[in-house]
Chains A and B, each alone.
Chain A
Amino acid sequence: MKALNISCKKAAEYMCKKEEGSLGFWQNFQLSYHLLVCGLCRIFKQQDQWLKDNICKVDEHCKGCLSEEDKKAILEKLR
């Protein structure tokens, strides 16, 4: 019988694969079991989901802009 318990490292890897449906039946079972018994990985899973939901907000908050010189340089190139 294959071992039911997997390491935290494996579990984090499986979480990645699960998102894309690349996780087999048995692996899925191993991951569910691991999450049941491991509080740290439950925290990781929650934070991972939160990160994915929020990463795109970086766009709204990015306030960088080009200097007048940068813009002039682009116009020069277009000429």
Chain B
Amino acid sequence: MFEQKATEWVNSYSDMLYRYALPRVSDSDVAKDLVQETFLAAWRNIKTFKGEISEKNWLFTILKNKIIDHYRKAVNRLTDSFPGMADDDPYFEEGGHWAKETQPKEWGVDYNNPIEAKEFYEVLEKCKSKLKEMQNAVFTMKYMEGMESEEICKELNITPSNYWVLLHRAKVQLRACLEKNWFVK
């Protein structure tokens, strides 16, 4: 009974959960650990599972919480200052004008259409993984989890002004990385 259920769970859902976690945490070992913890937590609480939502949705809810926990721990590890918050910003000159080297260039694509090439998404994932952990956290929670800024600040225990700087820098850096590695090679 146990053996069967556990095997069924792992076979049906582990890859799905892993593929959800990986682009969010940008580290395969972390993603594996989170999937494992998700199954463990679900298994321990299986008696409380009332079947109001599907097993799959239940597992995803647990995983999402684990991902946010992971970010929260990352913030707690940073005691005094956040990397990615330093005053110097390589993408802008002193007066706040775009730096010549990395200023936005036309991509020559139709912005109304998505890109289908799977190689593009590999580049996107790689660029995202190069963000500072805090920037990646804020960016992911905002644009991939669809959370509100207030909620993100509360979860990560950061001030709104930290939040805006982190989000803004994540976007500027991601844009520049995509441009360099995909659009304008």
Instruction: Give A residues with C-beta under 8 Å from B.
Output: 6-10, 12-13, 16-17, 20, 22, 40-41, 43-44, 46-59, 61-66, 70-71, 73-75, 77-79
Contacts and interface: CB of A to CB of B under 8 A. Distances in A.
A9 B7 CA distance: 52
B32 to A, nearest CB: 6
23 contacts: A8-B96, A9-B89, A9-B92, A12-B168, A13-B164, A16-B168, A20-B148, A40-B103, A43-B106, A50-B109, A56-B143, A58-B128, A59-B19, A59-B20, A62-B23, A62-B125, A64-B28, A65-B15, A66-B18, A66-B35, A71-B11, A73-B36, A78-B43
Contacts of A50: 109, 111
Contact of A7 (B19, B97, B178): B97
Interface string B31-55: 1100110011001000000000000
Contacts of B74: none
Nearest to B96: A7
A38 to B, nearest CB: 9
B114 A53 contact: yes
B136 to A, nearest CB: 12
Interface residues of B, number: 54
A79 B118 CA distance: 38
A24 to B, nearest CB: 14
A75 B148 contact: no
A46 B171 contact: no
Contact of B32 (A48, A52, A66): A66
7 closest A-B pairs (Cβ-Cβ)?
A7-B96, A61-B121, A9-B96, A43-B104, A65-B15, A9-B92, A62-B19
Contacts of A40: 98, 103-104
A70 B32 contact: yes
Contact of B23 (A8, A17, A59, A70): A59
A59 B96 CA distance: 35
B19 A65 contact: yes
B75 interface: no
Contacts of A10: 96
